[in-house]
Amino acid sequence: MNKDIATPKRTKEILEKHGFSFKKSLGQNFLIDTNILRKIADAGDITKETSAIEIGPGIGALTEQLAKQAKSVTALEIDQRLLPILKETLSPYPHVNVIHQDVLEADLHSLIRDEIGEKEDMVVCANLPYYVTTPILLKLLEEKLPLRAIVVMIQKEVAERIAAKPGTKDYGSLSIACQYYAEAETVLTVPKTVFVPQPNVDSAVLRLRIRQEPPVKVKDEAFFFRLIRGSFRQRRKTLLNNLVQHFDAKENKASVESLCAEAGIDPKRRGETLSMEEFAVLSDTFFAKYGE
């Protein structure tokens, strides 16, 4: 039986053996709690029919737990120094493929087609670096990859923002962007003490179940997201003030007011009080004037 990678003792041994030092610029925090890693893998409902994609495998702690459950694991690692370590730690798992690549620069559709095959049951499972969480998640969602779910360990505050409901302080453009593509829920809170080095904040495991269809239909997706971002420009301002600023319509405040009225939405409301459905109506109404 292979010794788990993610115990404090074994992690220390591996890092010392390879003379590995953490790079702050890559946001490297390695998990040293096997129990939590298993829970992350379990949250993805991974079976022997599942192909798992991992981003930032580190020394292979989560990769190992995924490999025990999945048909295959494809892991993208940006740090070249980790490749020889991964080759050694994951040697018992021939169905793991480590690729030296930055996920933000990768052509993921081609990678899936060439490495995995698009008809597979596919899940992304990862412990994401805090500093690039949002761009990675949005890339995975916006590119409409053939995924069933995304399960990621991220900063607790960001997980709360993504899963937030209208009318709460955490609800904003990121909540709507993610919930447009997926159903979001926080499945686990993780204390900072189970990482080396310890980060400054607690983490959470977020599960995104990919939707077959978005919950709202809009005339133009890109415009819809731009309008939402504009509505949250300054959280304390009303919809009217934010949208006047966003559309550079200072001379034309009355036109913004009348479009809000046409959409049946009080322009004195704040962005965080609007549901996704209300934003969809607002977006389609504004698209007629500002969209082309």
How does pLDDT run across 218-237, given as a tens digit for each residue? 999 999 999 999 999 998 89
Q: For residue 25, what pLDDT band results from cuts at 50, 70 and 90?
A: confident
Question: Rounded to 5 degrees, what are φ and ψ at 71?
Answer: -70, -40
For residue 242, the model assigns a pLDDT of 94
Q: pLDDT tens-digit profile of 2-24?
A: 678 888 999 999 999 999 988 87
Q: Which residues pair with 213 in a beta bridge?
A: none
**What is the distance of C-alpha 225 from the center of its chain?**
17
Structure-block tokens of residue 23: 């790079």
Which tokens hold the place of 224? 């819809």
CA nearest to 75, candidates 88, 84, 86, 85 = 86
pLDDT single digits (tens) 98-150: 999 999 999 999 999 999 987 889 999 999 988 899 999 999 999 999 999 99
Mean per-residue pLDDT for 286-292?
86
> For residue 94, is pLDDT > 80?
yes
Alpha-carbon distance of 132 to 142, in angstroms, equals: 15
The pLDDT of residue 102 is: 95
Residue pointed to by tokens 């977006």: 283
Contacts of 88 by beta carbon, 8 Å cutoff, 6+ apart: none
| Phi, psi of 126, rounded to the nearest 5 degrees | -160, 155
**pLDDT of 292:** 67
Report whether 49 belongs to an annotated binding site. Answer: no
Residue type, position 52, single letter = A
Question: What is the pLDDT at residue 119?
Answer: 81
**Domains of the chain in sequence order:** 8-210 (3.40.50.150), 221-290 (1.10.8.100)
Nearest CA to 11 out of 100, 101, 116, 85 is that of 85
Structure tokens at 70: 């999945």
DSSP 119-175: TSEEEEEEE--GGGHHHHHHHHHHTT-S-SEEEEEEEHHHHHHHTPPTTSTT-SHHH
Q: 31 labelled as ligand-binding?
A: yes
Q: What is the mean pLDDT of the chain?
A: 93
Q: Show the tokens assigned to 61.
A: 């702690």
SS3 content of the chain, % helix, strand, coil (to 5): 45, 20, 35
**What integer is the mean pLDDT of 170-185?**
96
Gap between the Cα atoms of 207 and 191, Å rounded: 18
CA-CA distance, 184 to 239, in Å (whole number)? 25
Q: Is 200 a known ligand-binding residue?
A: no
Asked if 44 and 185 count as a contact pair (C-beta separation under 8 A), the reply is no
Say if residues 176 and 167 touch (Cβ distance below 8 Å).
no
Q: Identify whether 197 is preceded by a cis peptide bond (ω within 30 of 0).
A: yes
CB 70 within 8 A of CB 40: no
Residue 127, annotated as binding a ligand: yes
Residue 56 annotated as part of some ligand binding site? yes
Alpha helices in 23-132 (DSSP H): 34-43, 61-69, 83-89, 108-111
The answer on pLDDT for 80 being more than 70 is yes
